[in-house]
Chains A and B, each alone.
Chain A
């Protein structure tokens, strides 16, 4: 009875998370149709710093731009950073993890040492250091986040490979005379997609949070491009006079990341019942 209850509650995570994630994707894809105003060009100076009202549902900022429209367009930055950088991380992590688990020996030692070093550098600090060198901008964020957070993907891939190697289906493939590379990609990889997907989902959430922090510090996407973190950075100065400018972009980040984390947790319960590891 307790077990059944648990299952239902967990699937609720998956449902809620999935719906939020879909809504954010829809928001990013259909921004031009959803946003009531242009996020940059519509600067209604006569109505700057207006609290939420009928024309401007979320109010306006200090340049009279519609906050709702900017929040809607801001999803594009967050989502693209999350997907592109985590895509790179997954790719690097899977490649290194597969080869480390499969080849073993020195290469494995090297990859594991590299992974441990990477894990000892806080991801936000690492991203900041890279942004310090590259300078602000969207492409640079992809790079700063896409090459620094593959450690979890790599670890989980490697451990799954080590586990899968001894299983019957790999033995069978070997007996059939399949080559190493073929076994790696056609036999093992499809069987370990679940855990990798879980790590990737949580990774997208993490990347969105770091991008927001970078943009908040002024090192991310540059104005006037609307990004949630960047909007908050400008909002801070008007916290006393126009607090609503601070509310909505932050809420957007919060709900998006929450949705992705719920989705990740839900996926983990379904796909990967053994691991209880968590990451931020």
Chain B
């Protein structure tokens, strides 16, 4: 914090949080319009049958229950009002609150994303850092080939391969499922999810360090006769981290998005698999809730990154 008054920090945090609100509003509007603009056969789905034998009076009742008889703008306002109270609506098919359904799936998804991120950060950043320090070495070549491959590999395919080699051929891990929540269940899916992110972090870190190594202040530090170790630790790593953090935050959304595929592949009981199932059942309130939640997690992470940025980098102005 370097002597920055706490009240100043708080004000910065508050302003940043306030900026967050219009973004969320715009996103809810886009999603609401997108998912609700199609002609209301939702009541049919809710009525439990797409066939023509449904009693029209029953349908009217269903429409009323989900507020589908209201005009679109009224429905959006109601949706917003409920949203502000943490109410995401009622599932068409399961007759349960979407918020309850999502709440039970939230922890598995967050756990998966967190472990994936830990793996990615723990391997990607050191790899990028040491590659940059030893440019042209075998480590550099290896990790950069690995990085471009990691960005290009389809995650569900990587997951399938890992599943085949480490769960079928060598039965070290279970093929899929959440199990009792033990570590061995999460390693394959988390690694699968983390690989792309890891590759990205390695590339970004390497680029940042290479750039920093050519700056004047490193030359000065060297000229002063500081040891390489000290230079690397005090100057290079710290400054590179600031650059890497931004990319890490911006690309976290991609990681959240890919939880959908990885969860489906490994039958992981998270938000992503709930969302895919809801799409197939045309249960729009659930889809809407899941999409919103995935975006929200992404935005919150970026908010956290911005705040962290201010803590790490003393040059950031608390405007």
- Where the two chains meet, the residues of A that have a C-beta atom closer than 8 Å to any C-beta of B are 2, 5, 113, 116-117, 119-125, 128-133, 205, 209, 212-213, 216-219, 229, 232, 235-236, 239-240, 243, 246-247, 249-250, 253-254, 257-258, 261-262, 265, 276, 278, 280
Contacts and interface: CB of A to CB of B under 8 A. Distances in A.
Contacts of A249: 157
Contact of B294 (A122, A216, A218, A278): A122
Contacts of A250: 154, 157, 160-161
B166 to A, nearest CB: 12
A261 B151 contact: yes
How many B residues are at the interface, by size bracket? 35 or more
Contacts of B250: 119
A177 to B, nearest CB: 41
A33 to B, nearest CB: 27
A250 B135 CA distance: 32
B175 to A, nearest CB: 8
Main secondary structure of the interface of B (DSSP, over half): helix
A194 B107 CA distance: 44
Interface in B121-171: 135-136, 148-149, 151-157, 160-161, 163-164, 168
Q: Lowest 7 CB-CB distances: which A-B pairs, in order?
A: A122-B257, A250-B157, A124-B257, A258-B152, A122-B253, A257-B152, A132-B279
Interface of B: 23, 26-27, 30-31, 34-35, 37-38, 135-136, 148-149, 151-157, 160-161, 163-164, 168, 196, 200, 203-204, 207, 211, 247, 250-251, 253-254, 256-258, 260-261, 264-265, 275-276, 279-280, 282, 284, 287, 291, 294-295, 298-299, 302
A113 B37 CA distance: 23
Nearest to B291: A129
A250 B299 CA distance: 32
A16 to B, nearest CB: 10
A246 B295 contact: no
Contacts of B152: 205, 209, 254, 257-258, 261
B156 A232 contact: yes
Contacts, number: 141
B23 A212 contact: no
Contact of B27 (A117, A216, A246, A278): A117
Contacts of A243: 164, 168
Contact of A117 (B30, B153, B251, B284): B30
A265 B265 CA distance: 30
A82 to B, nearest CB: 13
Contacts of A113: 26
Contacts of A258: 148-149, 152-153
B35 A132 contact: yes
